[in-house]
């Protein structure tokens, strides 16, 4: 029906419909009125425009939603959303949880596999780095301290020269050949002929122990042991003796602490008594020039000429004859030997 | 004066309804799912009327209304709580009804407009009295012959008494399109009624003789 309407009729009917929502322009009103006067169908349609709205507005509601139907609707809706609410996240979880889990597992495996060995090593806790570093530092500092080793060698040589002039010459030549590498030198002479030579091997033992320290660090001696008096020192000063040592010596000899300086095992030539615990530390090494001689330790001045040497020799002999303590006798005998080396007694003196 | 009082009462009623809606939405977002039942109770009846008019089937409207509320529940997290809830629900309902009408048309379940219109008593042939209800049914039947997009604009404007802006919001179309569709729907409806029921004057005569 309406398909058969020409464009003009359609336009006028729409214009009439619009007139219910807005005020038409004067031109539009003239156009509408002119067309309605000519077209009977459009006049019939125009009469229904107002009635259609009125009838549509007053049309009875299809049916009201009764209270019972409303409650049924409410319960049905609540049942459905109640079924959905918990299941929604669960469904999502079932869908995504395995995916997330596998992705996370792959990521962890890839992270571990692709990580460089260096960085993996960094992840591991260091194997006691502090102690390793400490011991390494201790060993290297000692090994690198060539000056200290040279000093030690000089001390040894001086002591040898005093105690065993012939052996000292050999050792001095060896020392010159080996240069300042005291460690190698000591390693080449582990066994000495004289008992004093065993005492001189103490620094070597310290060196070896320090070199061994990283391997068996638990055996490293405590600092107190390393700082004990120099075994090769002929007469350590009283200040180098620790108080317990002095008391111990006093208890043995019954002398005053000042006199105890003569009771050191070195002065007695009792080098065999030296143990590893008697190893001196480098700090305790005294320069040769500063070493007090055995004579000074005994309270005697070093003789400056043959006459004073003879006088001193006679005094020492007198003291030797008067003492009965073996340790004192040993010291006096050693001092006499030292004096003999410095000022040999002439044939006429006998 | 009476109109002003009525509009004021309507405004107060609308404000109270929106306040209840906001409280319900807060409760729902706080985890109280039961608060949605209040929303269904408040907005169910008007939405049912709209759906029943559009579908011309109460049972279908009831079923569809259930779907409307379930869709609303699912979309509730995306709803802007600062806006009114009813226009949002109405938009869901109108779209659901238009989808249903399109499905019916696709399935060939649409009422035959010609048959429907043929049932309208012709005052010219019968000379019988046209009662108000029969006339309303005739208009309603004529509306079914319109394109759904036109008919829904007519219903929202005439039966739901919405403004152009509200219709535009419900259908998500510009206001100009609302005016154009409304005019075409009216013109077409008038043409159908004139075709099947004769000139308005004859109908008026019939109504007067009731």
Given pLDDT bands bounded at 50, 70 and 90, which one contains residue B174?
very high
Distance (Å, whole) CA B10 – CA B1: 14
The three-class DSSP label of residue B131 is coil
Within the 92-111 window of chain A, which residues sit less than 8 Å (CB to CB) from chain B?
A: none
B142 part of contact set with chain A, CB < 8 Å: yes
Q: Which residues make Cβ contacts (< 8 Å) with residue B110, sequence separation at least 6?
A: B101, B104, B144
* Candidates B49, B183, B203; nearest CB to A18: B183
* Count of C-beta atoms within a 10 Å radius of residue B31: 8
* CA–CA min distance A34, chain B (Å): 18
Structure tokens at A42: 């459009």
Model pLDDT, residue B111: 62
DSSP alpha helices (H): ranges in A59-164?
Answer: 67-114, 117-123, 129-144, 146-163
pLDDT at residue number A77: 92
**Chain B residues with CB inside 8 Å of A52's CB?**
139, 142, 186, 189-190, 193
Average pLDDT over residues B94-114: 80
d(CA B71, CA A232): 103
Contact yes or no for B66 and A80 at CB 8 A: yes
**pLDDT surpassing 80 at residue B183:** yes
Residue A183 has what pLDDT? 46
8 Å CB contact of A1 and B135: no
Mean pLDDT of B167-196: 87
**pLDDT in the model for residue A267:** 42
DSSP code string of B9-62: HHHHHHHHHHHHHHHHHHHHHTT-TTHHHHHHHHHHHHHHHHHHHHHT-HHHHH
Give A231 or B162, the one with higher predicted confidence: B162
**Chain A residues close to B132, C-beta within 8 Å:** 55, 58
Grade residue A24 by pLDDT with cuts at 50, 70 and 90: confident
Q: For residue A54, how many C-alpha atoms fall within 13 Å in the half-sphere facing its CB?
A: 9
Contact A57, B159 (CB under 8 A): yes
How confident is the model over A113-122, as pLDDT tens digits? 887 666 656 6
Q: Which of residues 52-81 of A touch B (CB under 8 A)?
A: 52-53, 55-65, 69-70, 73-74, 76-78, 80-81
Which of the four pLDDT bands, split at 50, 70 and 90, describes residue A262?
A: very low
Task: Name the average pLDDT for chain A.
Answer: 63
**Residues of B whose CB is below 8 A from A87:** none
- What digits encode the pLDDT tens for the residues A120-162? 566 665 555 555 565 555 555 545 555 555 655 665 666 666 5
Sequence length of chain B is 210
pLDDT score of B93: 94
pLDDT tens for residues B130-154?
566 677 777 877 888 888 889 999 9
Q: Which helix (H) or strand (E) holds B123?
A: helix B123-126
Classify burial at A348, counting beta carbons within 10 Å of its beta carbon; exposed 0-12, middle 13-18, buried 19 or more. Answer: exposed
Q: What is the pLDDT of residue B71?
A: 93
**pLDDT of A13 over the 80 cut:** yes
In angstroms, rounded to a whole number, what is the distance separating the alpha carbons of residues A295 and B76?
110
Tell me the three state secondary structure of residue A234: coil
Task: Indicate yes or no: CB of B187 within 8 angstroms of CB of A85.
Answer: no
């Amino acid at each position: 029906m309406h398909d058969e309407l020409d464009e003009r009729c359609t336009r006028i009917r729409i214009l009439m419909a619009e007139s219910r929502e807005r005020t038409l322009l004067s031109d539009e009103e003239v156009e509408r009125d002119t067309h309605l006067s000519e077209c009977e169908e459009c006049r019939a349609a125009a009469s229904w425009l107002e009635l259609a709205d009125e009838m549509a507005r007053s049309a009875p509601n299809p049916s009201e939603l009764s209270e019972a139907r409303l409650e049924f609707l409410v319960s049905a809706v609540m049942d459905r959303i109640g079924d959905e609410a918990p299941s929604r996240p669960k469904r999502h979880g079932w869908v995504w949880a395995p995916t997330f889990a596998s992705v996370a597992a792959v990521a962890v495996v890839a992270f571990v596999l692709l990580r460089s060995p260096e960085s993996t090593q960094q992840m591991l806790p260091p194997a006691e780095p502090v102690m390793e570093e400490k011991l390494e530092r201790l060993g290297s500092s000692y090994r690198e301290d060539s000056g200290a080793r040279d000093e030690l060698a000089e001390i040894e040589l001086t002591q040898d020269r005093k105690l065993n002039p012939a052996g000292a010459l050999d050792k001095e030549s060896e020392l010159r050949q080996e240069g300042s590498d005291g460690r190698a030198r000591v390693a080449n002479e582990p066994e000495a002929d004289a008992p004093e030579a065993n005492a001189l091997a103490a620094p070597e033992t310290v060196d070896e122990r320090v070199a061994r320290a990283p391997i068996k660090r638990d055996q490293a001696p405590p600092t107190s042991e390393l700082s004990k008096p120099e075994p090769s020192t002929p007469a350590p000063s009283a200040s180098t003796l620790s108080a317990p040592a002095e008391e111990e010596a006093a208890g043995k000899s019954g002398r005053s602490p000042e006199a105890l300086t003569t009771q050191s095992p070195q002065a007695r030539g009792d080098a065999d008594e030296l143990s590893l615990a008697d190893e001196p530390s480098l700090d305790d090494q005294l320069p040769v020039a500063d070493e007090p001689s055995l004579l000074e330790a005994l309270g005697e001045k070093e003789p400056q000429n043959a006459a004073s040497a003879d006088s001193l020799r006679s005094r020492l002999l007198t003291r030797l004859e008067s003492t009965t303590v073996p340790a004192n006798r040993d010291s006096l005998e050693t001092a006499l030997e030292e004096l003999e080396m410095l000022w040999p007694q002439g044939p006429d003196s006998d | 004066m009476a109109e002003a009082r009525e509009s004021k009462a309507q405004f107060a009623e609308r404000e109270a309804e929106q306040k209840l809606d906001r409280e319900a939405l807060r409760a729902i977002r706080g985890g109280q799912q039961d608060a949605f039942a209040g929303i269904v109770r408040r907005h169910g009846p008007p939405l049912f009327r709209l759906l029943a008019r559009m579908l011309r089937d109460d049972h279908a409207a009831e079923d569809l209304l259930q779907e409307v509320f379930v869709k609303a529940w699912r979309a509730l997290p995306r709803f802007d709580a600062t806006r009114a809830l009813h226009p949002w629900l109405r938009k869901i309902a109108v779209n659901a009804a238009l989808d249903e009408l399109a499905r019916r048309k696709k399935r060939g379940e649409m009422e035959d407009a010609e048959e429907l219109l043929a049932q309208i008593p012709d005052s010219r042939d019968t000379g019988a009295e046209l009662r108000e209800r029969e006339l309303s049914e005739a208009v309603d039947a004529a509306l079914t012959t319109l394109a759904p997009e036109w008919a829904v604009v007519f219903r929202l404007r005439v039966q739901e008494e919405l403004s152009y802006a509200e219709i535009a919001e419900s259908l998500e179309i510009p206001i100009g399109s609302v005016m154009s569709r409304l005019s075409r729907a009216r013109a077409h409806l008038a043409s159908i009624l004139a075709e099947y029921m004769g000139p308005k004057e004859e109908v008026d005569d019939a109504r007067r003789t009731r």
